[in-house]
Structure 1
Amino acid sequence: MYTDRNRSRPGRRPVPRGRYQPRRPLPPLPGELYEPQEPDETGAPPPDLRRRRRWKTVRRVVYVLAGLFFVVPAIAFVVTYFSVDVPSPEKVAQSQGQAVTYLYADGTEMGKDVPAGGNRQILSPTQIPDVVKKAVIATEDASFETNSGFDVSGILRAAYNQVTGGSGGGSTISQQYIKVSSGDDAPTLTRKWVELAKSFKMNQTYEKADIITAYLNIIYFGRGAYGVQAAAQAYFGKDAAQLTFSESALLAGLIQQPGRSENPTVARDRWSTALDRMQRNGYLTAADRRAAKFPTPVPLVDSRQGNTVNPFIKKQVKAELAAAGIPEEKYYAGGFQVFTTIDSKAQDAAEQAVAQGMAGQTDDRILDALVAVDPRSGGVLAYYGGAPIVKGPNGEDQAGRDWADEAHNPGSSMKPFDLTAFLKDGRGLNAVFDGRSPRTFPDVPLPVRNAGTTSSCSETCTVAEAMQRSTNTVFYDMVLNVTKPSGVAEAAQEAGIRTKDNGGRSVLFTGDNNISIGGGQTAVTPADMAAAYASFASGGVQRGRHFVQKVTNAQGETAYEADTRATDAFADNDRGKSKQIAGNVTAALAPVIPFSRLTCPSGHECAGKTGTQQHTPGADEPASAANTNSQTWMVGYTPSVSAAVWVGGDGDKALRGPAGQPLTPSLVAGPVWQRFMQLYLAGKPGERFDRVQAITSPQDDQFQLQLQQEQQQQQFQEQQQQQQQDFTFGRGGNQDQQQQQPNRGRDRRDGRGPGRGNGNDTGQANFGP
């Protein structure tokens, strides 16, 4: 034991506080055991004293931390526990299942979306079969029977997943009930703290049977169904009391992802997971698990009374809001007003144009879709995906498929993205390729051919003429040897084409040169094509395609507002370059309209491209089926609207018109596009595209100069030959030779001969002065 050196001694002054002065050890006091410890050479306190001081500090810190982390939270938890209430299922139900009002872009009402089971029945514990409860407990909260409202191991597991990027949450059934009942799922500590207190109080106040019943009466299952009774009716057309274990497993699996309930792959995966967990928890035998068969839900037919919103538009809106943080379970619980981008005049024009274009078609396998986008905002002006309700094989009503949001082979309507990639590489519309047909390419097993009788071009075909004629051999050569398929895929993606379809499958393959002519595995949706061509119409500015301007809640507060910020589509942070590229694409597409025997609306400049996908005959089809098409397109735009029309079949089918003729863009898709543009733009001020400078390259300019010199030399030789013939045969000359001479001149003037390469190919003369 070390004595206190500051104690008073006769004749000694006390050492000032905070200082230490080494000196000789004092003799021990009576009864004191003392083992002298000398200070070290630096004059610091002995080690024993230093250790005691450190441990004293550590103990104080531990006591403070213990108070902060245990005592204070415990007191706060008790205070929170007594200050919160757990709402009843009946009260929660009053805030759920509210109709959502849809408005057109001008603020007029489009219709209402009324949820299924809005006036649902609140079931008692005895009205819900045990198999439903067990399926939900196994899937959502395996520790439900033993936890106190929250599961510490689940919370730790969720925290670990947050850090490591894993999946899986830590919320119990009680916590989920509290979250749904409050309508608050903000990722804040305060909200989570109150949720834990309410969950604990709920388990101290109610029996487990009452808690699981309350949960099953309010939870959202998809299809607009809140509560298990509404879900049983929506998915299986029966009461909850009649659900089988397999049906119960499907409903339990959908709780985590109700917004994807119509995706067959997701639904089957969630069903299988629920069955596995039921077996793991002892609710299902191995034999029953092996014998389980997937329960096919009844078709989703949106025929609820008062539900007047187009189901395809509603589907797109709900998906957009879910991505913005308003999932289905909150969508029907906020009394929302959805201000859409849909223009009522454009929507009416789309439906009228399709009806007129399809009139007289006798092949019921021919399907159609039309989407129009505003290039200035990215908002969808019109959306027609086909018939929302169709007849099933037994005459029953079934939900139609949204063909505007399904991917199809684009055919030649993909070629503008070939050109975009080519222009990004610094090449121009006056570049020359061999446009003859057929052509063979190294390592390509089959020759590439041009379609029809007007698409072939000369050996020195400019890119501008190739686009007008839709010359396959030119664009295949361009992509194979200049831009590469990856360049085309990148340009399409920059314009607004998604790289994967709704099922997660890739649709833009960077290693497939068939992307150049829109064949092979390349597939795009009409909605994406309308948005992508809008990037050309806007002068190289890309704005995300969207259906919603904003959403307000029952209190009139803005719950969501669309982000319409613009990006430079084809040149990062270079608006001028991106505009020049888009303008050159427009210059190439403008002559396609009259070449395709279409016209622009009066007073409006327009540009566009047709596309077809040829049918591949099966073994049981005649050889003539090879001359038919399975998909046709017309995609075009003015400065204020971009519209894509698709007319085709479900898969590769040989489609024909009413007279037995092959289905082509000029038969339906082209006229539908033209009629829509005329109807929508009628009475609107005329508009012109901005003029831009043509993109050229030294190598293309040099080749054009050489080509002109060769043409001049050829003309000189022909003149010399003509003079010699006149001298030989007299002034009348050879009559046959005189008849041949003008034909060669016309060959150069109309672009089929080698004289093509200047004039309109600069990319500006197509629009006039």
Structure 2
Amino acid sequence: MGRAEARRARQRGARRAETGGAGIRRFFTWKRLLGTFFGCCLFAMGAFYVIYLLVPVPDPNEQATMQSNVYKYSNGKILARTGEINREIVGLDKIPDEVEKAFVAAENKTFYEDSGIDIKGTARGVLNTLAGKGKQGGSTITQQYVKNYYLNQDQTVTRKLKELVISLKVDQRMKKPAILAGYINTSYYGRGAYGIQAAAQAYYGVDAEKLTVSQGAYLAALLQAPSQYDWSVAGATGRELVKERWNYVLDNMVEEGWLPASQRAGQTFPVPQEPKAAPGMEGQTGYLVEAAKQELMDRNDISEKDINAGGWTITLNIDEKKQKQLVKAVKRQLEDHLDRKTNKVDATVQAGATSVDPENGHVVALYGGVGATEHWLSNATRRDYQPASTFKPIVFASALENGSRTQDGNEIGLNTVYDGTSRRPVQGSDTPFAPQNEDDRSYGPVTVQQAMNKSINSVFAQMIVDVTPAKAKETALALGMKDSDGFVETPAMTLGTMGASTWDMAAVYATFDNHGKKVTPTIVKSAEHKDRVIEPGESVGAQVISRESADTVTAALTGVVKNGSGHEANTSAYQAAGKTGTSENNKSAWFAGYTPELTTVVALFGEDAQKGKQVTLTGTANSGRANGGGFPARIWADYTLRALGGGSDARFDLDIAETAAPIPTATPTPTDEPTRTESPTGEPTRTQSPTPTPTPTRTPTPTRTPTTPTPTPTPTDDPTGEVIGGGSGEPTGEPGGNGNGGGGDEKPPKP
């Protein structure tokens, strides 16, 4: 190719490039781009119009025509029917105007002007749903009404598009007041209340027409998160959040001119009343139903709203016969002795109990109180009282499990000797602690078995130091107790100074009963719905402490029943193990016990419901101290005898270390009522007859050198040492206590 031809070829290529570039530029002109955009918009509008024509306004959804829930005993007999929608439709003429405006201020300030939809909010919700970000807000009141009444709570793109279309149609067909009334009457407020009338009764005990603006603002704020914002069950964070939203509602009302600023300034947060059971939940029924609902929510992926929507058949593990026997035992052994009408102490007494089959973890009976419609808070599951000395076996179990030793280097077992001197300062602890024994009585050197029988505070105060509070707490949590703010790792913990429920302690003692395999009490046997069936998993889990440790604790607790503070539960009709407990200032009294076939924990609580505080049980039924070895042990024995059909031949199959046997049968004192004789000076003195000193199988070296060279069970009336408080001024039990401790105040039988 010559130079001329090459030049012509380059010129042709350049012209083609110029022509091609010009062609692309001609195609992507602003007119064509604008036309394409409008074309897409017209297509989208056309598609939406087609959808609008094709999507009808459906019939009300299932929730709008709710079914009941059926609760059954384990034998299939119906216990209760619940779940019919708790709602009474009221018109806006029955709702104060300011309350009505509070809902608009909370959810949709432009409600009265919009067309029923929020395009931006809905688009954001669709995009977030596609991105997997879960539930997103942004809906108008009309959209929320449509979702409540016609659709469901599913967070899907299809449902959101339907919501958009139906909302437009509803906004065209219905007037704004009717839509607002529908929204207020179909929304769920928690506590089983659907609609503002039910919510007004549930939270403030008034009809909707009597609500104040502050109360209305709270109910409007509540709709965002009914369970989290319910003041009676909300934690510190939940309460702070609902207060912020309450203020937000009122501020929006001022901004929109619906509430004068001067009136807003005078508003105070309206704390709602405590929850009350719905009609039909009288007696123990309400407690059983509530426990089942709570378990379904805690252990399964079910919300309270799902349950209240109805259609469930829930079978409980509750044994109808045992349940009735427990109620009768409380009546015979406690209620028949109380004068609740005229005796101020008797009026404050509350009883609670949980009974568990240790082999499978089934809750076979539960006592929540005098009646769910009279005292809604279940005494079986509440955790606001101290378990007291029922915690001491946990300390002993931890010592066994960790191979703990005394300050003198002796391994801890049933026959290990400790110093039982009252107010004896613990050794080896950075936190000073010197608890007082019951009646400030000193015992001198005693074995662990004897200390367990008599619930001697000073012994277990030293033992938890030997174990370390941290390890003791670790054992407690493994056995089934729940952590809490009051569960502080200090020596005082040995006296059961944390909060616990009879349900929690039944888990612990059932685990002892089941040779150290973790027992998680469960009240729900099965729950069936039309589209799902729930069968709770196994309630007996892994070995959380060794069989030897658990069985050694059982051996110790059989001694408590035979020769110690739990003697009221002793009978030849069955073999039993148990522990008494009485908390600081006698505010709670416990008996936790078990046979090879049944574990039951019974407790009494002193509660002044009107003042919202704990009070002493002393003087209950005019009987002095209401300790764990009294009413609770007698209730336990009455119930257990009948629950076992009059008795049982079953015996504990124990695997304990040889060094732990034999179990001493002697108590550390020959009598709890010493005789008085005259001294040469004419002053009365106490004298007590000695009892044989048990022969320990290991070297009986006490953790603190006693004044007597050899172990002797004779008590001394002269306590040694001063009361030394804990790190926060806690001499024994709860802060500010008087030094009586969390136990050790139960009297054993007279020899």
* TM-score calculated relative to the size of structure 2: 0.72
Matched, 1:247 2:215: yes
Matched, 1:103 2:72: yes
Determine the structure 2 residue equivalent to 1:765.
Answer: none
2:420–2:442 Cα contact (<8 Å) kept: no
Find the aligned partners of 2:699 and 2:514 in 1 and give their Cα distance: 34
Matched, 1:609 2:609: no
Determine the structure 2 residue equivalent to 1:723.
Answer: none
Q: SS at 2:435's partner residue?
A: coil
Question: Per-residue deviation at 1:159?
Answer: 7.8
Match runs of 1:482-631 below 5 Å: 482=467, 484-500=468-484, 506-510=485-489, 512-519=490-497, 522-553=498-529, 555=530, 557-564=531-538, 566-568=540-542, 570=544, 578-595=546-563, 596-599=566-569, 604-615=574-585, 629-631=586-588
2:126–2:157 Cα contact (<8 Å) kept: no
Match runs of 1:414-425 below 5 Å: 414-425=391-402
Find the aligned partners of 2:296 and 2:118 in 1 and give their Cα distance: 30
Matched, 1:84 2:48: no
2:71–2:316 Cα contact (<8 Å) kept: yes
Match runs of 1:381-392 below 5 Å: 381-388=364-371
Find the aligned partners of 2:179 and 2:392 in 1 and give their Cα distance: 60
* TM-score calculated relative to the size of structure 1: 0.70
Determine the structure 1 residue equivalent to 2:606.
Answer: 649
Q: 1:124 to 1:280 in 2, by over 3 A?
A: closer
1:498–1:528 Cα contact (<8 Å) kept: yes
Determine the structure 2 residue equivalent to 1:40.
Answer: none
The one-letter code matched in structure 2 to 1:130 is: D
2:359–2:514 Cα contact (<8 Å) kept: yes
Q: 1:93 to 1:463 in 2, by over 3 A?
A: closer
The one-letter code matched in structure 2 to 1:84 is: V
Match runs of 1:445-484 below 5 Å: 445=432, 447-451=434-438, 456=443, 458=445, 461-482=446-467, 484=468
Question: Per-residue deviation at 1:297?
Answer: 5.0
Q: 1:212 to 1:563 in 2, by over 3 A?
A: farther
Q: 1:127 to 1:421 in 2, by over 3 A?
A: same
1:367–1:647 Cα contact (<8 Å) kept: yes
Matched, 1:274 2:246: yes
The one-letter code matched in structure 1 to 2:400 is: L
Q: 1:215 to 1:744 in 2, by over 3 A?
A: closer
The one-letter code matched in structure 1 to 2:535 is: E
Q: SS at 2:419's partner residue?
A: coil
Find the aligned partners of 1:36 and 1:188 in 2 and give their Cα distance: 50
Q: 1:279 to 1:534 in 2, by over 3 A?
A: same
The one-letter code matched in structure 1 to 2:356 is: V
Matched, 1:378 2:361: yes
Determine the structure 1 residue equivalent to 2:627.
Answer: 664
Q: 1:517 to 1:36 in 2, by over 3 A?
A: closer
Q: SS at 2:581's partner residue?
A: strand
Q: SS at 1:280's partner residue?
A: helix
Q: SS at 1:611's partner residue?
A: strand
- The match for 2:286 among 300, 304, 311 is 311
Q: 1:366 to 1:35 in 2, by over 3 A?
A: closer
Matched, 1:113 2:82: yes
Question: Per-residue deviation at 1:268?
Answer: 8.7
Find the aligned partners of 2:296 and 2:151 in 1 and give their Cα distance: 16
The one-letter code matched in structure 1 to 2:293 is: K
Determine the structure 1 residue equivalent to 2:120.
Answer: 152
Determine the structure 1 residue equivalent to 2:188.
Answer: 220
Find the aligned partners of 1:448 and 1:196 in 2 and give their Cα distance: 69
Determine the structure 2 residue equivalent to 1:6.
Answer: none
Question: Per-residue deviation at 1:112?
Answer: 2.2
Please identify the structure whose Cα radius of gyration is greater.
Answer: 1
2:351–2:369 Cα contact (<8 Å) kept: yes
Question: Per-residue deviation at 1:481?
Answer: 3.2
Find the aligned partners of 1:191 and 1:455 in 2 and give their Cα distance: 74
Find the aligned partners of 1:601 and 1:250 in 2 and give their Cα distance: 56
- The match for 2:653 among 654, 666, 690 is 690
Find the aligned partners of 1:201 and 1:474 in 2 and give their Cα distance: 77
Q: SS at 2:629's partner residue?
A: coil
Find the aligned partners of 2:532 and 2:571 in 1 and give their Cα distance: 38
2:588–2:617 Cα contact (<8 Å) kept: no
Q: 1:745 to 1:370 in 2, by over 3 A?
A: closer
Q: SS at 2:287's partner residue?
A: helix
- The match for 1:140 among 96, 107, 113 is 107
Find the aligned partners of 1:751 and 1:630 in 2 and give their Cα distance: 39
1:479–1:516 Cα contact (<8 Å) kept: yes
Matched, 1:211 2:188: no
Q: 1:29 to 1:666 in 2, by over 3 A?
A: closer
Q: 1:647 to 1:171 in 2, by over 3 A?
A: same
Find the aligned partners of 1:661 and 1:207 in 2 and give their Cα distance: 68
1:209-249 Cα shifts (integer Å, max 9, x gaps): 33322211211223433222333344445543443312211
1:590–1:606 Cα contact (<8 Å) kept: yes
1:631–1:649 Cα contact (<8 Å) kept: yes
Q: Percent identity?
A: 27
Q: 1:226 to 1:744 in 2, by over 3 A?
A: closer
Determine the structure 2 residue equivalent to 1:674.
Answer: 637
1:220–1:226 Cα contact (<8 Å) kept: yes
Determine the structure 2 residue equivalent to 1:27.
Answer: 8
Find the aligned partners of 2:640 and 2:145 in 1 and give their Cα distance: 51
Match runs of 1:161-176 below 5 Å: 169-176=137-144
**Cα root mean square deviation, aligned:** 4.6
Higher relative contact order (CA 8 A, sep 6+): 2
1:378-426 Cα shifts (integer Å, max 9, x gaps): 3322121212268xxxxxxx54542222221111100122122222213
- The match for 1:746 among 685, 692, 710 is 692
The one-letter code matched in structure 1 to 2:392 is: K
1:534-557 Cα shifts (integer Å, max 9, x gaps): 12222222243332222223x4x5
1:88-134 Cα shifts (integer Å, max 9, x gaps): 66x767513x432211111101122265745x33x445554432332
2:277–2:376 Cα contact (<8 Å) kept: no
1:613-648 Cα shifts (integer Å, max 9, x gaps): 242xxxxxxxxxxxxx33211001123322111123
2:98–2:259 Cα contact (<8 Å) kept: no
Question: Per-residue deviation at 1:276?
Answer: 2.5
Where in structure 1 are there 5+ consecutive unaligned residues? 1-10, 12-23, 38-47, 57-61, 391-397, 501-505, 572-577, 616-628, 705-742, 758-769
